[in-house]
Structure 1
Amino acid sequence: MGDRVLVGDVGGTNVRFALAKRADGKIEIEEFAKLAGDNFDTFDAALQQYFDDTGLTPKQACFAMAGPVQGGEVELTNRNWQVSAKRLCDRFEFDDVQIINDFTAMARSVPEHSPDYFEEVLTGEEKPDLPVIVAGPGTGFGVATLFPLGDDAWRVLTGEGGHIAYAPRDTLEFDVASVLMRDQGYVSNELVASGMGLEYVHSAFCEVFGRDMEDVSPEDMRKRADAGDEMFDQLIAMRAKAVMGAVGDLALANGALGGIVLAGGVTERIVDYLRRPEAIARFRERGPMSGYLANCPVRLMHDPEAPLIGAAAYYAQEMQT
């Protein structure tokens, strides 16, 4: 990747743009900007704003989008934006535009990071020739599987794994899930663990605990939990157990003994809950298969620019094949 490529990380809340290039084996980010998605009716308008602010006219781009990508097109899961690679090429005179899922980019960034970017959640020994699960809740719940191909090449498989059905496993969780099912119909891991579902989960907890619904921010929920409020403590604990249960399911299904990498803003804010014994049990206790994940490590990746780096790495690899 000798020339700079425009990269974008387009989530349910923010849009991030940058120019990326590989120098001395490392991907470097320049001309970074973060825009609030609510300020724009379309992705094209946000991209135009970036060009107006920077005066840049790049010819290649790779955009990581929070939604299922098919045929160079995507409709964002948590924002009413429809994006087409062909339309972007026509409007902005790109020579080439690649649109990928945001967790494809998140996963592809993992091999580009040094160990300093990872925080240990659960100790273990990764098997470098086996797949890695990269997953976690932010606004939504992203999931990807990273496969090593050798010679520093990687393949990423993505789908909509965050929408796998949530599996309650204790009385409180069954009670809360019953309320969610009544009100929302289908109850997914994304609904329970991600930012987009927090209001629904909060409402369900208030009903189960017999409390009035209040307007409480995630930060205040955490403060109340730390101060001894049982309801908010159990609410955060349920979300953490949902995360660890989900990645355990995914590791079993994919043979991902290369390890688990957690990502996403929600994950970072509840990392101490992920280390609680009951959350670890959700990951490891698998009946007759409990030994399978006994030595599978879980790490948390810290880098807000990870999807941008991953989009650049994905683009560089794809252009070589």
Structure 2
Amino acid sequence: MVTDPQLNGHHKFAVVADIGGTNARFGRINLKTFELDRIQVFACANYLNLTDALIAYREQQQVELIHVAIAIACPAEGDSIQMTNHHWQFSVKGTRDALGLTSFIVLNDFAAAAMSLVTLNKSETKKIGGGKKIENTPCAVLGAGTGLGVGHLICLPNGDMMPLPGEGGHADWAPLNEKEWAIHEFLARRFEGRVSAERLLSGPGLENLYQAIAYYHDRAVPPLPAKTIGARAVTGCDAIATETVNQFFASLGSFAGNLALTLNTRGGVYIAGGVVPKLLPLMAGSEFRTRFEQKGRFCNLAESIPCYVITAEYAGMRGVAQYLKQTLRHTAADETTGTEQL
């Protein structure tokens, strides 16, 4: 994550954004109350770059661009930012200077998703099995959208929350049965021999799975967008679509369970992104939880860890705001003590 050390609290508002491969969500945050308003969603494809989108937001919402903090769907390290599933790329310093910003913070989108966990109330999540979460222990968050995002959240001894962004969505996908080996074979041919989890567990992944499962059943089906596959599965009018979603949830469960073991996430595993909330009616009857817990000698640990689907709107922007709030608190403390935070 890239943090600008010039951040200070001399202005009342900041602009926050959650930028995915398809949509860019912008909002204004009150730096005293941390209430979010003036939310607007732009299609990334309609803008040449981030600067143009920020200018459009400023003009349409009549806001000042002074402090800006964004979450973006790619690694956020160093000055040069290149989105993974979209063409936007920019220099952090160049964008700050071009827009005359006082400060500009850039977070990986799943660092922001991880920070959002502390803002959620019970009504903004749906629990999917497991025991009771243990406070102040590590959490994992993953989300299927344009890609597959992964992050973790840990509590530091001083009470701060530290997000740990990662690129776990690009880890190898491991098939577990005969049908999954057939799916792997189909996708390996399509993607030059390597199949990552994101090739299945994303919106485009649903489209890949639909074709792969049809191949497994020796059926020819036309390509369908993920939205249509999901809708057909929910209504039950397309057996291949239903099987596709069931396979999606089975593989998602295995992947989420692996994340739980990796960092012993007794604080819970949270599922974000745009795909799963739309498919919730089919999740309870799927193999998601069975596969989550199917961890051999560590099945007892997996069984104890709860999973939650995040249903809150604009969780990413809330996570950015939470990170900004924590950064402001430290900046104010450093100014009081006469030290500089780098």
State the TM bucket, normalised to the shorter chain: over 0.9
Match of 1:195 in 2: 203
Partner residue, 1:217: 225
Specify the SS of the correspondent of 2:71.
Answer: strand
Paired position in structure 1 for 2:279: 270
| Alpha-carbon distance change, 167 to 318 in structure 1, aligned in 2, over 3 angstroms | same
Indicate the SS of the match to 2:113: helix
Give the match's secondary structure for 2:115. helix
SS in 1 for 2:304: coil
2:178 pairs with 1:171: yes
Q: 1:257 aligns with which of 256, 259, 266?
A: 266
For residue 73 of structure 2, the aligned residue among 60, 66, 90 is 66
User: Which residue matches 1:29?
Assistant: 36
Per the TM alignment, residue 231 of structure 1 is displaced from its structure 2 partner at its CA by 1.9
Q: 1:252, CA displacement in angstroms?
A: 0.4
Alignment of 1:18-97 (within 5 A): 18-23=27-32, 27-97=34-104
For 2:140, the aligned partner's letter is I
Quick one: structure 1 residues 72 and 109, their matched pair in 2 at CA, closer, same or farther if it must change by over 3 Å?
farther
Count of residues in correspondence between the two structures: 319
Give aligned-pair identity as a percent: 27
Give ranges in structure 2 of 5+ residues lacking alignment.
1-8, 331-342
Letter in 2 for 1:21: N
Q: In 1, distance between residues paired with 2:176 and 2:280?
A: 21
Determine which structure has the larger strand proportion and give its number.
Answer: 1
CA drift at 1:170: 1.8
Q: Give the match for residue 106 of structure 2.
A: 99
- Taking the aligned partners of 1:114 and 1:100, their CA distance within structure 2 comes to 23
Normalised by the length of structure 1, the TM-score is 0.93
1:206 paired residue among 199, 214, 218: 214
CA–CA distance in structure 1, aligned partners of residues 305 and 39 of structure 2: 35
Please, what is the CA RMSD of the aligned residues? 1.8
Is 1:232 matched with 2:236? no
1:295 pairs with 2:340: no
- Matches of 1:75 and 1:280, distance apart in 2: 35
1:180 corresponds in structure 2 to 187
Evaluate the alpha carbon distance shift between residue 7 and residue 224 of structure 1 in structure 2; reply closer, same or farther with a 3 A threshold.
Answer: closer
The TM-score normalised by the length of structure 2 is 0.88
Aligned counterpart, 1:133? 140
CA distance in 1, matches of 2:88, 2:200: 24
Q: Deviations over 1:242-279 (max 9, x none)?
A: 21111110110111111111111111122344333622
CA contact (8 A) 1:11 1:139 kept: yes
Could you list the runs of 4 or more consecutive aligned residues of structure 1 that deviate by over 4 angstroms after TM superposition? none
> What is the one-letter code of the residue matched to 1:133?
A
Which 5+ residue runs of structure 1 have no aligned equivalent?
none
Shift of 1:241: 1.4
The 2-side partners of 1:67 and 1:277 are apart by: 30
Cα deviation code 1:134-185 (max 9, x no counterpart): 1121111111101123665211001101111111112211111110011113
SS of the residue 1:62 aligns to: strand
227-236 vs 114-123, which moves further: 227-236
